[in-house]
Structure 1
Amino acid sequence: MWTPLPSSALRLTGADRVDFVQGQMTNDLRGVRAPGTVACCFLNVRGQIEFFARAYRREGDVYLHLDAGQAEGLTARLRRYIIFDQVEIQDVTDELRTVHVWAQAVPGWNSEGPDAQSFELGGGTVLGGRVNRTGTPGVDLHFLARHEDAVRAALEAGETPLAVLEAARVRAGIPDVVRDGFIGTLPQEVGLDVGGPLPVMSYRKGCYVGQEIMARLEARGNARYHLGRLEGQHLPDHAEVAREGKVVGQAGAHADGLSLARLRKELAPGDRVEVGGVPATVGALSPVPADV
């Protein structure tokens, strides 16, 4: 099975490209060999998420894969920090397409190989990244828009709608910063910390915007919220979660009677809450394999 992903993308070139983006992102891109990939966030000075991306380090550039509509904002943010850096930022959204293949059975992909690989598929070169979107690692394929028909034809399984992929993601307990509406939260509150279902953090990589807040949270371990699960029918997306009239969290996307949510840590499985006025129950969030 494979699913088209609504996407936007940036390409960074220039001698300082790795060092420059390293000083902006939460994860350690410099620590991976080319080709390599890491999930990361770009934070504000209060440590809150502004953007989520998957960063690919290649021999001649850095490729940032983002959700749809995110590239323009991240471009503006990055350009504010260019002073003497030798780096060029190009929005390549219109030139590229991305699909997620649910398993690693992709012609040309080495399932025992590195997390990022370039190989031939459909008459052109594709960039693949091992990504866990459903509880089982699959492959994100990035390729030129003009090769889209040929790449789709080369994939052995049929197309599966995005809504089905989203339902599998929610069941697996894997957050999506944009689709769950978690922009503006702290990474530790929504499952993005080290050991979470979608780790984006390195606490040893050096300075970046928001790093002081992240270091303080690591030292004190005092985030008041964490990623949780809500159970209920027809729960509204991105709504406040309340208990006894007090706001205790924020719901993400809803699918098949489940929602992921940013919840106060004192809530326990079985607690009754309301999501935008709709009754729900706090469920147990089963651990899933970490994103790779």
Structure 2
Amino acid sequence: MWTRIPSSSLRVTGPDRVDFVQGQMTGDLRGAPTPGLVAACFLNVRGQIEHFARAYRRADDVYLHLDEGQAPALAARLRRYIIFDQVEVADLSETLATVHVWDASALSGWQPDGPEAQTFDLGGGTVLAGRVNRTGTPGVDLHYLARHADAVLAELGGERPLADLDAARIAAGIPDVARDGFTGTLLQEIGLDLGGPLPAISYRKGCYVGQEIMARLEARGNARYHLAALVGEGLPERAEVTAGGKVAGQAGLNAGGASLARLRKELADGAAVEVGGVSARVRLLAPARA
């Protein structure tokens, strides 16, 4: 089974492509194999998330997979930083499409023991695939030419709606930065730090925009918020969370009777809160497995 992922994407080419993207993102692209896959954020100078992406390192390019509508802004940002770098940035959002295949073993051509990123033939064309955990169990993100959609999807079996995937990822404690409305937060606050459900940073990779703030947070370990879940019926999405009349965080997308939220750490498991005026309970997330 598979689910359509609302997506946009960029392709970065040129001899300086890896070093250039490395200097912008929190993940260690230079340390990834070829082919390889790295989750990362692009931050502002205050260390706040502007974009989340999965970066595919390939022999001839760097492919950046983003949420829907994110590519134009990231492309503009990257182009502002091109000075002497020999790179080109192209928006492939209208050319490529993406689905998530829930069960990797059911995907013809995918090698379960192979690298995180793989390329193979499917439906009469070449596809790019990456091992991605969107539901609590690693599946495969499959990127293909939009004009080949009918032939590719015919190889995959039945479709499941995006609402099912959102419910599964929220139950598993996996954030989606854009869909949950967490842009503008610190990655340590929403489960993107090392040990979180979606690690998207290296503290040893060298400089990038926002790196000084990240280093300070690593040294002090003083982020005041963390990722938690909220349980309740009819919770407003992307709404302010209050506890005892005081602002305590912000909620993300709601699916399956729950939301993920950026919450103050002092809120205990089971604590009563309000999300946009609607009652909810806090559910702390279990630590991610190594």
User: TM over 0.5, yes or no?
Assistant: yes
Shift in Å, 1:289: 5.1
Aligned equivalent of 2:267 = 267
Q: Give structure 2 stretches of 5+ with no counterpart.
A: none
Aligned positions of 1:22-101 closer than 5 A: 22-101=22-101
Aligned equivalent of 1:104 = 104
* Contact 2:56–2:64 (8 Å) recurs in 1: yes
The C-alpha deviation readout for 1:63-83, integer Å capped at 9, x for no partner, is: 000011000000011111000
Aligned equivalent of 2:229 = 229
Are positions 1:129 and 2:102 aligned together?
no
Aligned equivalent of 2:150 = 149
Query: What SS does the aligned partner of 1:3 have?
Result: strand
Query: What SS does the aligned partner of 2:215 have?
Result: helix
The C-alpha deviation readout for 1:200-245, integer Å capped at 9, x for no partner, is: 0100000000000000000000000000111111000011100111
Are positions 1:4 and 2:4 aligned together?
yes
Identity of aligned residues (%): 73
* Contact 1:228–1:261 (8 Å) recurs in 2: yes
The C-alpha deviation readout for 1:252-289, integer Å capped at 9, x for no partner, is: 11112111000000001111110000001111313455
CA distance in 1, matches of 2:138, 2:26: 22
Aligned equivalent of 1:179 = 179
Query: What SS does the aligned partner of 1:94 have?
Result: coil
Aligned equivalent of 2:117 = 116
* Contact 1:47–1:211 (8 Å) recurs in 2: yes
CA distance in 2, matches of 1:89, 1:160: 33
The C-alpha deviation readout for 1:173-215, integer Å capped at 9, x for no partner, is: 1000001100000000000000100000100000000000000
Aligned equivalent of 1:18 = 18
Q: Give structure 1 stretches of 5+ with no counterpart.
A: none
Q: What TM-score results when the alignment is normalised by the length of structure 1?
A: 0.98
* Contact 1:28–1:38 (8 Å) recurs in 2: yes
Q: What TM-score results when the alignment is normalised by the length of structure 2?
A: 0.98
Aligned positions of 1:209-224 closer than 5 A: 209-224=209-224
CA distance in 2, matches of 1:154, 1:181: 33
Query: What SS does the aligned partner of 1:154 have?
Result: coil
CA distance in 1, matches of 2:35, 2:159: 28
1:112 maps to a residue whose letter is D
1:57 maps to a residue whose letter is R
* Contact 1:43–1:51 (8 Å) recurs in 2: yes
CA distance in 2, matches of 1:178, 1:92: 19
Are positions 1:252 and 2:252 aligned together?
yes
